[in-house]
């Protein structure tokens, strides 16, 4: 059943036409991902579907009685609300029904009014409350606030940070459980555990239809049943989540390449005819000239559109010394709270560490320490001139030692993008008085450099204060990455970036010869980029784990399952006394001997770990090939063969790993 239909949607801001004739429909219960470049019109289309904004032309038809919930990037609340009140505001229908039910019940108890009419209304109210989610919605609202990381339910929403306000708005929408939920970047400002909880909730518990505007590729792959791409003001539909979308998009672009090739062949023939300068005296000849010129213009436009499609990011690098960054028993406090305790770390060339943990655990403070922004307590003091005391409520290094190498140069992207001047243009912010950018031995004109970050020449004079969140993020990246460095530190670089820019950034980091520290909640980004993780595990403990997020999550899952399995095994082995006596009275049988490794299996086990390592290296090499910027320039047949090879390599690596576990268990 179609619940929303949009036809011929057009929307223009100034002279920029964002949507031009977009068409789409949504079915009851389906889960749709909405993707596209920053500025392509995703959020505009989401607002129009939600009824929060009107199109300039076109029509949106919604099913009668459809309840639509919309999570905006900048949610709005009535002033003075507590967090719990803001969430309960999402239950206006349920609250009204509950209030009326309590009033009717009170009237019946006191013998006021006509009993038959009150009983009839009470029955209808009970049915209404059940339809709206039952009797425990208030408890569910409080539980949802805890799940999204808002623990002080009495706090005023007005005093909260932008991230906290978004989490309150998310809880408000989820508890309302509308027929259609439209979520614009729902994972921004959520930590990884909360993102995984949200993913499970949407997949397993949310009953309505869903539109997800997000750059979180894991979320798209695991939740979406269909993907809509906004490109060139139009909407293209693909079945499945992120992986199937990529394959189908590659096929569509390959078809476009074939059409473009045919157009070029036609142009070549027609232009050869035009060069002979025939006298266009007849209508037929004049039509032929017009046709050739029209196709030539279309070809030029198509090539220009395809040129603008992808970002190109390259990181400036300067040679590093033997030491890039080291810490010994580092401790960082904020107020009376220990954020980091006893961290010893050696960061080497080529290492890319993801920093993960719950919101508020101290990830940003740790990055600030790594940049040298946090001065150890008492540093710089002398008998004649004592050090100026640091604010007690700010983060500070209280124990241990942090060392940067003499040749270490840091490029730091902070979460607030605070290095930007909102009153200056993109060109002025990035150029800082210069029109030349030097990346290693390469010298670029500033305009060409900015075009790599998807800012066309005519856009580079835009004032930064007027940009969207994704555009600001691209400007901040362009500014900090123009300087040669050997240690790149990024705090939430994936917030607001579109997938095109994310992919380019991932490729640049994979090729970067220096060291990288990055705080992000993007699991796909971590799996593609990180060689290891620094995980905040509570009580100030920051533990290093090798591999990406999937590796860590699998190890954590196994560790959590271990005690449960042991407990279950112990419980199942505890037999009632009567049963034990009956067993002892029966004729004794010798316990069956455990099977041991055969000679052939011993030989197999000795070389198996190397084979596992080789198989995993094969998978990593293929994934690096997939991450290359020119991968989708290949033919469709080559891409299909590649994906088949990648799937086979993953299956082989998994089979070898399982065989190694099996033989190791027998050996033990």
Given this model, what pLDDT does residue 484 score? Answer: 86
pLDDT over threshold 80, residue 526: yes
Q: Which of 327, 420, 399 is nearest to 367 (CA)?
A: 327
What CA–CA distance (Å, rounded) separates 516 from 491?
11
Which carries the bigger pLDDT value, residue 575 or residue 455? 455
Given this model, what pLDDT does residue 45 score? Answer: 95
Name the pLDDT band for 668 (thresholds 50, 70, 90): low
> pLDDT digits over 276-311, tens only?
655 544 555 556 556 655 655 555 555 554 444 567
Residue with token string 């909405």:
34
Q: Is 9 left (phi over 0), alpha (psi -120 to 50) or beta?
A: beta
**Mean pLDDT across 583-599:** 49
Name the pLDDT band for 470 (thresholds 50, 70, 90): confident
Q: Which of 638, 644, 666 is nearest to 251 (CA)?
A: 638
Please state the domain extents for the chain: 2-245, 254-307, 325-376+390-547, 594-668
Q: Is 189 left (phi over 0), alpha (psi -120 to 50) or beta?
A: left
Given this model, what pLDDT does residue 577 score? Answer: 41
**Mean pLDDT across 585-607:** 58
What CA–CA distance (Å, rounded) separates 618 from 364?
35
* DSSP letter assigned to residue 317: B
Return the SS3 of 302: helix
Return the SS3 of 190: coil
What CA–CA distance (Å, rounded) separates 524 from 264?
38
Given this model, what pLDDT does residue 294 score? Answer: 62
CATH of 594-668, one of 3.20.20.140, 1.10.287.380, 1.25.40.10, 1.10.1130.10: 1.10.287.380
Per the CB < 8 A criterion, the answer to whether 355 and 367 are in contact is yes
Strands (E), 36-145: 57-62, 68-71
Which region among 107-111, 566-570, 582-586, 629-633 has the lowest average model confidence (pLDDT)? Answer: 582-586
Q: How many CB atoms lie within 10 A of CB 48?
A: 20
What CA–CA distance (Å, rounded) separates 522 from 527?
9
Residue 480, CA distances (Å) to 313, 317, 409, 494, 637 in order: 12, 12, 12, 15, 39
Given this model, what pLDDT does residue 496 score? Answer: 78
- Global pTM value: 0.70
Name the pLDDT band for 211 (thresholds 50, 70, 90): very high
> Which CATH fold would you assign to the domain 325-376+390-547?
Rossmann fold (3.40.50)
**Mean pLDDT across 394-413:** 89
**Which CATH number applies to 2-245?**
3.40.50.300
Given this model, what pLDDT does residue 627 score? Answer: 65
Which carries the bigger pLDDT value, residue 329 or residue 88? 329
Which carries the bigger pLDDT value, residue 29 or residue 270? 29
Given this model, what pLDDT does residue 588 score? Answer: 40
HEC letters along 351-395:
CEEEEECCCCCCHHHHHHHHHCCCCCCCCCCCCCCCCCCCCCCCE
Torsion 45-47-49-54 (CA) sign: negative
149-179 burial string, b = 16+ CB within 10 Å, else e? Answer: bbeebeeebeebeebbbbbbbbbbbbbbbbb
Q: How many CB atoms lie within 10 A of CB 332?
A: 26
> pLDDT digits over 546-571, tens only?
999 988 988 888 887 765 555 555 44
Name the pLDDT band for 589 (thresholds 50, 70, 90): very low
What CA–CA distance (Å, rounded) separates 178 from 90?
10
Q: Do domains 2-245 and 325-376+390-547 have the same CATH topology?
A: yes
> pLDDT digits over 607-628, tens only?
777 788 788 888 888 877 776 6
**Mean pLDDT across 3-8:** 94
Per the CB < 8 A criterion, the answer to whether 611 and 605 are in contact is no
**Mean pLDDT across 71-100:** 88
Instruction: Tell me how many degrees the CA angle 401-407-408 measures, rounded to the nearest 5.
Output: 55
pLDDT over threshold 60, residue 504: yes
**Sheet strand arrangement including 57-62:** 16-27, 2-13, 57-62
pLDDT over threshold 90, residue 598: no
Average pLDDT, the chain: 81
Strands (E), 124-272: 180-184, 209-213, 226-231, 234-239
What CA–CA distance (Å, rounded) separates 632 from 252?
11
Strands (E), 143-193: 180-184
pLDDT over threshold 60, residue 338: yes
Name the pLDDT band for 256 (thresholds 50, 70, 90): confident
pLDDT over threshold 50, residue 383: no
pLDDT over threshold 50, residue 605: yes
Bridge-partner residues for 201, per DSSP? none
> Tokens representing 588?
């004794």
């Amino acid at each position: 059943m179609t619940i929303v239909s949009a036809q011929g949607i057009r929307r223009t801001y100034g002279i920029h036409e964002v949507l031009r004739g977009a068409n789409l429909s949504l079915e009851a219960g389906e889960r749709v991902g909405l993707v596209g470049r920053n500025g392509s019109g995703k959020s505009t289309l989401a607002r129009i579907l939600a009824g929060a904004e009107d199109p300039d032309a076109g029509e949106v038809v919604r099913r009668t009685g459809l309840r639509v919930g919309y999570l905006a990037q900048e949610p709005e609340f009535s002033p003075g609300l507590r967090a719990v009140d803001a969430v309960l505001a999402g239950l206006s229908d349920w609250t009204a029904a509950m209030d009326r039910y309590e009033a009717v019940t009170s009237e019946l108890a006191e013998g006021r009014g006509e009993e038959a009419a009150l009983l009839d209304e009470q029955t209808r109210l009970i049915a209404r409350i059940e339809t709206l989610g039952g009797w425990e919605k208030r408890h569910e609202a409080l539980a949802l606030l805890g799940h999204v990381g808002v623990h002080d339910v009495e706090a005023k929403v007005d005093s909260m940070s932008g991230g906290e306000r978004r989490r309150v708005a998310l809880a408000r929408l989820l508890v309302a459980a509308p027929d259609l939920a439209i979520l614009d970047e729902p994972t921004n400002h959520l930590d990884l555990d909360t993102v995984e909880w949200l993913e499970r909730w949407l997949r397993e518990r949310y009953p309505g239809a869903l539109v997800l505007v997000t750059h979180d590729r894991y979320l798209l792959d695991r939740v979406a049943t269909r993907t809509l791409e906004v490109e060139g003001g139009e909407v293209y539909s693909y079945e499945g989540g992120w992986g199937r979308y990529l394959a189908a998009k590659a096929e569509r672009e390959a078809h476009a390449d074939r059409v473009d090739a045919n157009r070029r062949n036609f142009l070549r023939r027609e232009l050869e005819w035009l060069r002979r300068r025939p006298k266009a005296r007849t209508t037929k000849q004049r039509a032929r000239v017009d046709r050739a010129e029209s196709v030539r213009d279309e070809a030029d436009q198509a090539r220009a559109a395809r040129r603008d499609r992808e970002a190109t990011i390259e990181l400036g690098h300067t040679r590093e010394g033997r030491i890039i960054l080291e810490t010994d028993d580092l401790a960082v406090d904020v107020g009376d709270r220990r954020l980091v305790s006893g961290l010893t770390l050696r960061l080497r060339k080529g290492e890319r560490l993801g920093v993960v943990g719950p919101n508020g655990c101290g990830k940003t403070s740790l990055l600030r320490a790594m940049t040298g922004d946090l001065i150890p307590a008492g540093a710089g003091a002398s008998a004649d001139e004592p050090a100026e005391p640091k604010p007690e409520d700010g983060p500070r290094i209280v124990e241990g030692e942090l060392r940067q190498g003499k040749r270490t140069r840091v490029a730091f992207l902070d979460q607030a993008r605070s290095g930007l001047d909102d009153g200056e243009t993109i060109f002025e912010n990035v150029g800082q008085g210069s029109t030349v950018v030097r990346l290693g031995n390469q010298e670029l004109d500033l305009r060409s450099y900015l075009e790599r970050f998807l800012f066309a020449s005519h856009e580079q004079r835009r004032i930064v204060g007027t940009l969207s969140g994704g555009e600001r993020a691209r400007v901040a990246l362009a500014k900090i990455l123009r300087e040669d460095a050997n240690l790149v530190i990024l705090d939430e670089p994936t917030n607001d970036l579109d997938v095109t820019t994310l992919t380019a950034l991932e490729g640049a980091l994979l090729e970067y010869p220096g060291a990288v520290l990055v705080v992000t909640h993007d699991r796909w980004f971590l799996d593609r980029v990180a060689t290891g993780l620094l995980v905040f595990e509570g009580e100030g403990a920051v533990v290093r784990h090798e591999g990406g997020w999937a590796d860590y999550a699998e190890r954590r899952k196994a560790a959590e399952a271990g005690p449960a399995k042991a407990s279950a095994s112990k419980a199942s082995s505890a037999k009632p006394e009567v049963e034990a006596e009956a067993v002892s009275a029966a004729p004794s049988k010798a316990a069956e001997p455990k099977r041991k490794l055969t000679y052939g299996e011993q030989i197999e086990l000795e070389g198996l770990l190397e084979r596992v390592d080789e198989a995993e290296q094969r998978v990593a090499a293929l994934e690096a090939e997939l991450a290359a910027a020119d991968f989708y320039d290949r033919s469709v047949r080559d891409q299909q063969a590649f994906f088949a090879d990648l799937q086979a390599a993953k299956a082989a690596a998994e089979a070898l790993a399982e065989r190694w576990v099996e033989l190791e268990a027998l050996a033990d």
